[in-house]
Structure 1
Amino acid sequence: MAFLSLVGAGPGDPELITLKAINVIREADVILYDALVNESLLAYAKPGAVIRFVGKRYGCHSLSQQEINLLIAEYAISHGHVVRLKGGDPFVFGRATEEIMAAREAGIPVQVIPGISSSLAAPAGQMIPLTSRGTTESFWVTTGTTLTGEVSADIDLAARSTATIVILMAMSRLEAIMDIFAGHGKSETPVAIIQDATTEKEKVVTGTVRDIVFKAQYAGMSNPAVIVVGEVVRLREMTGTVRQLINRNEER
């Protein structure tokens, strides 16, 4: 039976995937996976399953979204259950809506298996709370750029708020984005950039709106990275100290 499952693979750590997602991967006849998916998760696939990379990597030919949509329909009709395995959560900048619409136009039923988004997991892994009583009561999650490559207008709106701002896919426009925050009097607001969150390659750089561009360049930070702007970044040092004390006590 033709069927599509959109599955969130989580932020990178292969253990940060749901049990339901693993069970669906085990059932799949075809797995189409993205660049941010930890490839160790493909070991859950059943023998004989078709496994195909359809993500985008620097220096490699990548399929257009239309080509991926066609593959989903073709494989579902010819093989049965297709799992579209996406990094993070399918509904957080995962183009899931386009793939659902394409499947439904082809008469293919769809289910969505949520995943842990890097927008949540990256700060949490660095002991940065997105909300904290007395510091901030809300958070924004936004993309850094639009389809045209321009900085999202939502960045300007977010920079005016007191919320924690989490920005994805934005390293190429980091300087322009920080200029927007500075223009709203946020030059001294703390910033953290977390690259390859929750993986063994994870790197983090902290600073302020005023100096984070220089610090990121010096540290060689690049995508995939999550940018966190807000007063909660200061709490990383406090919570990190608590974590160190707990670890020392455990070692004793």
Structure 2
Amino acid sequence: MPDPALRTGFVSLVSAGPGDPELLTLKAVRRLAEAQVVLYDDLASGAVLDHAAPEAQLIPVGKRAGRPSARQEHVNQLLVQHAEAGLRVVRLKSGDAGIFGRLEEELIALTAAGIPFEIVPGVSSASAAAAAAGIPLTRRLTARRLQFVTGADVTGRLPADINWAAIADPGVTTVIFMGQRSFPELVRGLREHGLSGDTPALFAESVGHPHQRLIRTTIDELARMMEKAEVSQPGLILYGPLAFDATPQIG
């Protein structure tokens, strides 16, 4: 793979982490400083963009449920267009771009156009949520497996092909992305497949942002809360044998 520091016409697919600029990797900061064009998601904006060069062109291409959003085809076109113009392009994605970040579509478009690229990994929102709550994602004796699951298909509904045996396993830490609207239906399925309604759950909203909110509860209580809640902020749901006896350190 070509070294992006030695040529132009290159795309860096950069993971911005959950939103806290202090959780950016050194490589992400360097790529932002070098970029001539930055295409960024809503959740990868704010103070994170302060690391971009003053002369860089900043283009919002965020996609948020229930709001007007950039079409993926248009994002792909912009990436190719700016790279073919010989520019250093950063595609800035929230969390870790490889986890439900629609990374594959952009890689396919770049590859088809013959555009060289690199992927810069980052702190996932799941890791950041667990850290903020002062808990591990895995536990040596009770949670030896970790699984990331999407709570929404392309229509925004609960996917029809869920592996219920896997996500109802009481010995697994499960992280649900994009699942606030579908969580009540999901919990009904979990209960039908044997998972206790008292299973610990953590709801983490706007992780890494100043208005971050963490709620420790059970899957039953969280489902009841989600039935009444209006979804306005990005949130993650974690459930399983979570260690709620830990106290997060502030600093």
User: TM-score, with normalisation over the residues of structure 1?
Assistant: 0.88
1:32–1:128 CA distance, 2 compared to 1 (3 A): same
The corresponding residue for 1:96 is 103
**Displacement of 1:27 after TM fit?**
0.6
Within 1, Cα distance between the matches of 2:139 and 2:24?
26
Task: Specify the SS of the correspondent of 2:137.
Answer: coil
The corresponding residue for 2:13 is 6
Structure 1 segment 69-84 matched on structure 2, within 5 A: 69-84=76-91
Within 2, Cα distance between the matches of 1:222 and 1:163?
28
Contact 2:181 2:231 in 1 (8 A): no
**Displacement of 1:57 after TM fit?**
4.3
- The one-letter code sitting in structure 2 at the alignment partner of 1:175 is P
Given the alignment of the two structures, is residue 175 of structure 1 paired with residue 171 of structure 2, yes or no?
no
**Cα offsets for 1:115-167 (capped at 9, x unmatched):** 11102211221012111122211111111011233323335233332211100
The corresponding residue for 2:206 is 196
Within 2, Cα distance between the matches of 1:58 and 1:138?
29
Within 2, Cα distance between the matches of 1:128 and 1:154?
26
The corresponding residue for 1:207 is 217
Within 1, Cα distance between the matches of 2:168 and 2:46?
40
- The one-letter code sitting in structure 2 at the alignment partner of 1:106 is A
Structure 1 gaps of 5+ residues are: none
Within 2, Cα distance between the matches of 1:24 and 1:129?
30
Q: Which moved more, 1:111-120 or 1:35-44?
A: 35-44
Within 1, Cα distance between the matches of 2:228 and 2:151?
21
Contact 2:158 2:186 in 1 (8 A): yes
Contact 1:31 1:51 in 2 (8 A): yes
Within 2, Cα distance between the matches of 1:221 and 1:32?
25
**Cα offsets for 1:185-224 (capped at 9, x unmatched):** 2212111111011221111222212221224567766541
1:127–1:121 CA distance, 2 compared to 1 (3 A): same
Task: Specify the SS of the correspondent of 1:32.
Answer: strand
1:3–1:166 CA distance, 2 compared to 1 (3 A): same
Task: Specify the SS of the correspondent of 1:239.
Answer: coil
1:230–1:222 CA distance, 2 compared to 1 (3 A): farther
The percent of aligned pairs where both chains have the same amino acid is 36
**Displacement of 1:70 after TM fit?**
0.4
Within 2, Cα distance between the matches of 1:156 and 1:10?
29
User: TM-score, with normalisation over the residues of structure 2?
Assistant: 0.88
The corresponding residue for 1:32 is 39
Q: CA RMSD in A?
A: 2.1
- The count of aligned residue pairs is 241
The corresponding residue for 1:150 is 157
Structure 2 gaps of 5+ residues are: 1-7
Within 1, Cα distance between the matches of 2:54 and 2:217?
48
Contact 1:205 1:215 in 2 (8 A): no
**Displacement of 1:59 after TM fit?**
7.2
